[in-house]
Amino acid sequence: MDFKKTKFGRFMNCRVPASKRYQPTEYEHAANCATHGLWILPSLLGGSVLYFQSVDQWHRMAAWLYGSGLTGLFVTSTLFHTVAWKISHLRKVEQRFHMCDRIAIYFFIAASYSPWLMLRELGPWSCHMRWLIWVMACVGSMYVFFFHERYKLLELLGYVAMGVVPALVILSMVERAGVCELAVGGVFYVVGVVFFKSDGLVPFAHAIWHLFVAAGASVHYYAIWRYLYLPGPLLHTSR
């Protein structure tokens, strides 16, 4: 369906070649800012809840890493989209914020896995994923620094690899509580990628992608809180 020929056409611009960046309409800019900006405060509160429910230093460290990654993602995304909307004529400034936005995704993925890798019992080889995932985030950040927007498909594959490889470790855990929620959250991210690549084809495609990210993060937060931090018999950790 060609949305440009419908009444929704005014809400999006024409699709651009892969070598160029799509320029959102004013409506899309506003939606891009709002769909992640609204999650900044809840992410701060959510990270604080985990921190104050921590029972030892490992729980506190995992809560700090996860809360920082979660909040950092929404803050960085909102700042970038605000800059792209209001001061896009400052190309260098916009590019720096765009790079920070891309880097934040790598660290968000690493932070999302950290509570599971730090607080669950892992095998002798799988335990190396606790630090390897942060190495992957650093490598991805270096890639963004040197090759930003040059090989978009390769960058997308990097995000997918970071999301899939640690998941294999999580699935191999003896304690499986929370794996279903992790899978559901992963489905939200995967489906959202379709809209991430649909700018110019679907109105508000990037904002819809933001909503899928928020939905996936919400499901993963619930799983972390319920199975790794909630006091009582549900708290099954290796520490």
Q: Which two tokens stand for residue 67?
A: 């809360």
Q: What is the pLDDT of residue 175?
A: 81
Q: What is the pLDDT of residue 126?
A: 78
Q: What is the pLDDT of residue 47?
A: 95
Are 185 and 217 in contact by the 8 Å Cβ rule? The answer is: yes
pTM value is: 0.88
Q: What is the pLDDT of residue 235?
A: 55
Q: Which residues of the chain have pLDDT under 50?
A: none
Q: What is the pLDDT of residue 20?
A: 76
Distance, CA of 178 to CA of 239 (rounded, Å): 17
Are 114 and 127 in contact by the 8 Å Cβ rule? The answer is: no
Residue ranges of domains in the chain: 24-229
Distance, CA of 65 to CA of 62 (rounded, Å): 5
Annotated binding residue at 98? no
CB atoms under 10 Å from CB of 13, counted, come to 15
Q: What is the pLDDT of residue 157?
A: 85
Core vs surface per residue 80-99: b (16+ CB within 10 A) or e: bbbbbbeeeeeeeebeebbb
Q: What is the pLDDT of residue 7?
A: 53
Distance, CA of 11 to CA of 7 (rounded, Å): 9
Q: What is the pLDDT of residue 234?
A: 52
Are 28 and 21 in contact by the 8 Å Cβ rule? The answer is: no
Concatenating the DSSP letter of every residue in the chain gives --GGGSGGGGGS-----TTS-----HHHHHHHHHHHHTTHHHHHHHHHHHHHT--SHHHHHHHHHHHHHHHHHHHHHHHHHHHHHH-TT-HHHHHHHHHHHHHHHHHHHHHHHHHHHHHS---TTGGGHHHHHHHHHHHHHHHHHHHTTTSHHHHHHHHHHHHHHHHHHHHT-S--TTHHHHHHHHHHHHHHHHHHT-TTTSTTHHHHHHHHHHHHHHHHHHHHIIIIISSSTT-----
Q: How many CA atoms lie within 13 A of 221 on its CB side?
A: 25
In single-letter form, the type of residue at position 185 comes to G
